């Protein structure tokens, strides 16, 4: 489901630039602190159901918890910005994909919510610059004051991709995966808890250590 390569120059992101301008025009003369926006929105009951609590994060592996937190904030922000006209192309792409791959009733899709959400935020591209919801969140956040450490984590998520890896065994609760295209190997945690069998092919999104 990965689309064409994304633009390397942030200056080419026309949708993000229009989005930043629209938000600034909406609150003239003010410096918008998106951290406050996130905190306020996350307090709403509907959104809170989709955000992992601090207690929930404490039960996760630290590396997993960092990315869960970052993706939660992207989710909250995307709800804010996708309501704007500038984001209509993304809303259309994601809505059509959701109808195709995550039907509300039988037959149910084999795609997990985590997979679909990551694709929708960081892979689904639109426009000449192949912008994503993630690149728009990064540009808006950078322009309007989102925490730098959170932006760094979102950039890591945005720079990630799905790949096909060979399962090469477990050691000390870490799996060794070797990508079949590049031949590069890595050791990783598996938050889902699935251990599999040596020799299996895994189609997964491998993220670098967040620290």
Helix 34-42 / helix 133-144 crossing angle, nearest 10 deg: 120
Question: Which residues have a Cβ under 8 Å from the Cβ of 130 and sit 6 or more positions away?
Answer: 3, 4, 5, 6, 7
The pTM assigned to this predicted structure is: 0.80
Instruction: State residue 164's pLDDT score.
Output: 98
pLDDT at 113: 86
Instruction: Indicate the DSSP class of residue 210.
Output: -
pLDDT tens digit sequence for 170-193: 999 999 999 999 999 999 999 999
Helix, strand, coil fractions of the chain, as percent rounded to 5: 50, 15, 40
Higher pLDDT residue, 83 or 154? 154
What are the angstrom distances between the C-alpha of 207 and each of 11, 70, 129, 163? 26, 13, 24, 11
pLDDT in tens, 119-171: 999 999 998 899 999 999 999 999 888 999 999 999 999 999 999 999 999 99
Q: Which residue has the tokens 């929708």?
A: 120
Residue ranges per structural domain of the chain:
10-158, 162-205
């Amino acid at each position: 489901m990965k689309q064409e390569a994304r633009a390397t120059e942030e200056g080419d992101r026309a949708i993000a630039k229009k989005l930043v301008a629209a938000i600034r025009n909406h609150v003239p003369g003010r410096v918008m602190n998106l951290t406050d926006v996130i905190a306020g929105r996350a307090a709403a009951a509907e959104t809170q159901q989709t955000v992992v609590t601090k207690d929930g994060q404490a039960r996760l592996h630290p590396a997993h918890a960092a990315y869960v937190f970052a993706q939660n904030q992207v989710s909250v922000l995307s709800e804010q910005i996708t309501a704007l006209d500038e984001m209509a192309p993304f809303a259309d792409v994601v809505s059509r994909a959701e109808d195709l791959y995550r039907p509300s009733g039988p037959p149910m899709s084999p795609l997990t919510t985590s997979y679909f959400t990551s694709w929708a935020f960081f892979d689904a591209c639109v426009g000449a610059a192949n912008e994503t919801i993630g690149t728009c969140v990064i540009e808006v956040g950078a322009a309007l004051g989102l925490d730098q450490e959170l932006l760094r984590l979102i950039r890591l998520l945005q720079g990630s991709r799905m790949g096909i890896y060979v399962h090469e065994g477990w050691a000390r609760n870490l799996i060794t995966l070797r990508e079949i295209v590049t031949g590069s190997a890595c050791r990783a945690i598996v938050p889902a808890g699935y251990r599999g069998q040596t020799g299996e092919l895994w189609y997964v999104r491998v993220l670098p250590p967040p620290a």
